[in-house]
Amino acid sequence: MPLRLPILWRDNLLSTAVSSPRSEITEIPAGAGTNLMPRRMHESYAQVTLPFASDPHLLDSYTNANGGIRTGKIMEHLDSLAGSVAYKHALGPAVESLGSIILEGFYFVTASIDRLDMLQPLTPQDTSDLRISGQVIFVGASSMEVAIKLESVNETTGEEKTVMIGEFSMVCRDAVTHKAQKLNPLILETETERELFHIGKVGKERKKKISLLSLSRSPPCEDESSLIHSLFVVHQPFTDSKGRPLETTPMGNTMLESTALMHPQDRNFHTTDDFSGYLMRLAYEIGYSTATLFANRPLRFFSLDNTTFKLPVPVGSILRLQSKVTHTKSGAANFRSDRHASLVNVRVQADVLDVKTGDKKTTNEFQFTWGDDHTLHKTVIPVTYIEAMEWLEGRRALDVGDQIRKFRS
């Protein structure tokens, strides 16, 4: 998996210092956009196995404080495998290593994640390995949809269980101009492949629709406006399923914040920015801390909702993460109930801070959902209008998650 560029950082700095500015480069090397050989869907398939059953030391390095698996580290691998699948589609199924992007003429970045859904608890077992696999299911002009699956494979019985599924959007960029680069078209040979292609296409269209309906762009619907009015004006009490009042916590009181300096050891393949999987792991871990502190107990991860990587995070910059609980479900009369007694939605905002200028730019907004089957005796409430919009976004995320989990069950 192309987690890191296979050259030393100090050598990269030297080559960067003596290389010509981009404006002086007149010859664009041949890349994905100039050799558009059609590819079959299965040719992009890639998989990686974490051999926990035969390597207890590896298993120990992935075990968290509660005896489970560090999900954030697994997410880092999911993103890396999606990158491997993308390069395999562009360079061909026989590719085994990646050279300089200037020689290849292009590179891939993670544009967005449609969803990541945990289908069952991720717990370590001495007899099971974890297998991460994926392949391209849709190709557009310069972007592709990559389906990723995480499975538990029991070495003793041979039983395989799907633990997590997700869909990543990868975008191809020109190595010199950084503009969109055309991709190899996809050959569809079977009815199953045509169905997968349709799923990927629908997923891409759905992300555009979700973006347009975001409360940062569009006002809330009539029902949501009435709900906010009731919350602030009528002061409708929050109660559980038995009519008992729930303890309310202002949203601002749930916030956690952390900063991290972006080191070159965590850079991605094209060397200038930090690896998106690493950012996802940092966001997951602060989000988990926020949900756990709010619930006063460890919670199980359920899903990561649609998130877009808006801007790169350059090496040497400072990443600031702000996390807070935006919505909760507790089987209360105010919410729709599902088979889980408690659900907690956490929003994590990632900002990149320029060390020299102090400028702040938002790179990502993550929406995570945690929960369990135990009753949650409190809920979060917004105080400001902006928090009210975040509260509604969290409510939407939990409702969508409910529908997906019920459909899959």
- What pLDDT, on a 0 to 100 scale, did the predictor assign at position 18? 33
R_g of the chain, CA atoms, integer Å: 22
19: number of Cβ within 10 Å: 11
Tell me how far apart the alpha carbons of residues 241 and 341 are, in angstroms, rounded to a whole number: 10
Q: pLDDT of 167-195, one tens digit each?
A: 999 999 888 888 899 999 999 999 999 99
- What pLDDT, on a 0 to 100 scale, did the predictor assign at position 24? 35
- Only one residue has tokens 């909760």, namely 328
- Which domains, from first to last, does the chain contain? 9-212 (3.10.129.10), 222-408 (3.10.129.10)
- Start-to-end CA distance of the chain, whole Å, equals 32
Q: Which regions in the chain score pLDDT beneath 70? A: 1-35, 98-104, 126, 234-237, 240-242, 266-274, 331-340, 408-409
Tokens of 386: 């902006």
SS3 per-residue string spanning the chain = CCCCCCCCHHHHHHHHHHCCCHHHCCCCCCCHHHCCCCEEHHHHCEEEEECCCCCHHHHHHHECCCCCECHHHHHHHHHHHHHHHHHHHHHCCCCCCCCCHHHHCEEEEEEEEEEEEECCCCCCCCCEEEEEEEEEEEECCCEEEEEEEEEEEECCCCCEEEEEEEEEEEEEEECCCCCECCCCCEECCCHHHHHHHHHHHHHHHHHHHHHHCCCCCCCCCHHHHHHHHHHHHHCCCCECCCCCECEEEEHHHHCEEEEEECCHHHECCCCCEECHHHHHHHHHHHHHHHHHHHHCCCCEEEEECCEECCCCCECCCEEEEEEEEEEEECCCCCCCCCCCCEEEEEEEEEEEECCCCCCEEEEEEEEEEEEECCCCCEEEECCCHHHHHHHHHHHHHHHHHHHHHHHHC
- Only one residue has tokens 């050989």, namely 37
